[in-house]
Structure 1
């Protein structure tokens, strides 16, 4: 199964790059997640001549390393605020292209680069495709919070309908996960009813004092590419159109 999943990620990434990263694109956002290395691989295959004048902007440590290790020119969104296209992964995508992101604790930088891009594209494998958020991603909505606000935030979230909201703890050290911005992450699962209107949920969460960013990406993606087990790629578009693409 693991080989099928990796092959599916590669198919989705390659197809998305072929369709959306054009030779004329000069400023390119590189996201985070397990599918993104294949995005960079495909960009490198476009050739040194195409890539020599491009600027690549990372969403976090992983994507920064991919850019540097690939010999690509690294930039920062504080220098280059206009991005032609950003390609990123997702933890789950619903039928309207709303996404849960932040499983890797990079949701703030990911959202900045997604909003700065003319075109925001999501790449993932078939496991991330859902009709309603929360179907496959059970961990909850990742919420980046200021460290001093996490305890009262947990109480607020429980009253809002997330009784199992919890501070995300690091696996290899004693203590919480700390983001690239020095903040904590709370994972807050909600009910199916709440996930039916993710934009409304996003607004409620953003209004909580101490919230830095919320891992709900609503009305942002132009398309989502899902690599399937059978070697095809399913594409969902923001206008509701869907299609199946046989990968090259």
Structure 2
């Protein structure tokens, strides 16, 4: 590994390493998108290479699919898998009830479809992703390109009656052009600051014409694996009501993950 990883990257690494223990031989595994999920894909690739782990991965984006193939994971579609044993993904925010905001990487639609088609969803995160109330991270909403400005205006008008602190939104850009999702849609980022009733907001947003899906994941996550820069890991199981603490060994010389450092 070239240079020492930052504490945040170490936290992501140990969370991913611990979450990989949930994956067993023969499983169909949903593979998330984003910087934290990339650590998990690399960990699973190492297990495939070194331990003979046999799994089938269902990626939530084209870039995750490329990485999975690169590290030796067999990639199949969700239609081929039909149902998954587990999905492991990151999150932009999570609260005490393990409700999430996701979509910072632009793959929220496929991420939500894959997560809800799984027996269990596990989120891997560093401690900075935990919040008392969702909303500090902009809420992504995937919208169809046709009439997106009208959809944006409708969303902002509707937010007046919602329990939120902010009501502005911005079209996500990729350089000088709108960001395009894998499904060919745009993303509006809602700057809400605080979401008082995320369940209500998720339902209202998805009733609007032009909205494809929103980044609120309510009652979907089962376990959060929280990593810390010193190698500590905390597992919170919302169904069992348990909290478990572990300590993972971190090998600084392991260069399998060197290209994932921010």
The TM-score normalised by the length of structure 1 is 0.90
Cα distance in 2 for residues equivalent to 1:147 and 1:191? 26
Cα distance in 2 for residues equivalent to 1:130 and 1:22? 31
Evaluate the alpha carbon distance shift between residue 2 and residue 70 of structure 1 in structure 2; reply closer, same or farther with a 3 A threshold: closer
CA drift of 1:190 comes to 2.2
3-state SS in 2 of match to 1:230: coil
Partner of 2:6: 3
CA drift of 1:244 comes to 2.6
3-state SS in 2 of match to 1:15: helix
Evaluate the alpha carbon distance shift between residue 69 and residue 159 of structure 1 in structure 2; reply closer, same or farther with a 3 A threshold: same
Partner of 2:190: 188
Question: For the Cα contact (< 8 Å) 2:202–2:214, is it kept in 1?
Answer: yes
CA drift of 1:186 comes to 0.3
Say whether 1:156 aligns with 2:154: yes
3-state SS in 1 of match to 2:11: helix
Evaluate the alpha carbon distance shift between residue 167 and residue 183 of structure 1 in structure 2; reply closer, same or farther with a 3 A threshold: same
CA drift of 1:80 comes to 1.3
RMSD across aligned C-alpha pairs, in angstroms? 1.8
Question: For the Cα contact (< 8 Å) 1:147–1:183, is it kept in 2?
Answer: yes
Cα distance in 2 for residues equivalent to 1:191 and 1:212? 22
Cα distance in 2 for residues equivalent to 1:9 and 1:57? 21
Partner of 1:222: 222
Partner of 1:209: 209
Deviation digits for residues 182-238 of structure 1 (CA, Å, limit 9, x no counterpart): 10000012252xx23211110000001011111110101110111113321122221
Partner of 1:26: 27
Which range moved further: 227-236 or 25-34? 227-236
Cα distance in 2 for residues equivalent to 1:60 and 1:71? 17
CA drift of 1:103 comes to 0.6
CA drift of 1:153 comes to 1.4
Question: For the Cα contact (< 8 Å) 2:106–2:187, is it kept in 1?
Answer: yes
Equivalent positions of 1:98-109 (< 5 A) are 98-109=99-110
Ranges in structure 1 where 5+ consecutive residues have no aligned partner: none
Question: For the Cα contact (< 8 Å) 1:12–1:225, is it kept in 2?
Answer: yes
Cα distance in 2 for residues equivalent to 1:89 and 1:47? 21
3-state SS in 2 of match to 1:78: helix
Question: For the Cα contact (< 8 Å) 2:139–2:191, is it kept in 1?
Answer: yes
Say whether 1:44 aligns with 2:45: yes
Question: For the Cα contact (< 8 Å) 1:126–1:229, is it kept in 2?
Answer: no
Match of 1:142 among 140, 143, 166: 140
Cα distance in 1 for residues equivalent to 2:207 and 2:113? 18
Cα distance in 2 for residues equivalent to 1:112 and 1:151? 26
Cα distance in 1 for residues equivalent to 2:158 and 2:248? 44
The TM-score normalised by the length of structure 2 is 0.85
Cα distance in 1 for residues equivalent to 2:115 and 2:226? 18
Partner of 1:170: 174
